[in-house]
Amino acid sequence: MAHPTRGQTSHTYDIVEVVNIDYANLALVYRDAAHALPQRVQFRIDDQTAAARQVFQGIVDSLALVGDGQWESSYTLGPRMGVLAKLVEVFHADGIDDFSSTSVGLTELRNAIEKFDSGSKRSLNKLMGRVLQTCHPNGQVLAKALRGSPDIHVDKLALS
């Protein structure tokens, strides 16, 4: 929200180029406006389950270069990797290791995301929606339900 005491938007940490995506190590190398040398972030997770690889792919798909996408800032990308690693660990503890499984439902998704602070929930819902759309048989419906209110139930949504 605009406010007279706030300064102009800074583009210091805008990602200007993705240099390399290392799927084997779940790492991303990029250039941003703040650094002369490429920067590297890694999705540090103990078990590289299918779910971990799917979430990493969701991160890669979410990158925007000097735009207004959710992940364009290298300032937020690094810390988000840690939050997402914790999310994958929560899913793993709940027995979810692959988001393409039909056993993954809205209740399981919401229960895992509920364990995070309110500032992270919106970003997690958006990213998980993107992951589910590409992996899960009912991904479109689940993504729509995650974006909606807690009162939306998958059985009330039309399956596409």
The amino acid that residue 2 corresponds to is A
The amino acid that residue 91 corresponds to is F
Apex CA 16: angle with CA 6 and CA 44, to 5°? 95
29: nearest Cα among 20, 74, 140: 20
Taking the C-alpha atoms of residue 118 and residue 5, their distance in angstroms, rounded to an integer, is 26
Q: What is the pLDDT of residue 1?
A: 43
120: nearest Cα among 86, 83, 94: 83
pLDDT tens digits in sequence order for the chain, 160 residues long: 444 555 555 667 788 888 999 999 999 999 888 888 999 999 888 888 999 999 999 988 888 766 554 455 677 787 888 899 999 999 999 999 999 999 899 999 999 999 998 888 888 888 899 999 999 999 999 999 988 755 455 554 444 3
pTM: 0.77
Taking the C-alpha atoms of residue 160 and residue 137, their distance in angstroms, rounded to an integer, is 10
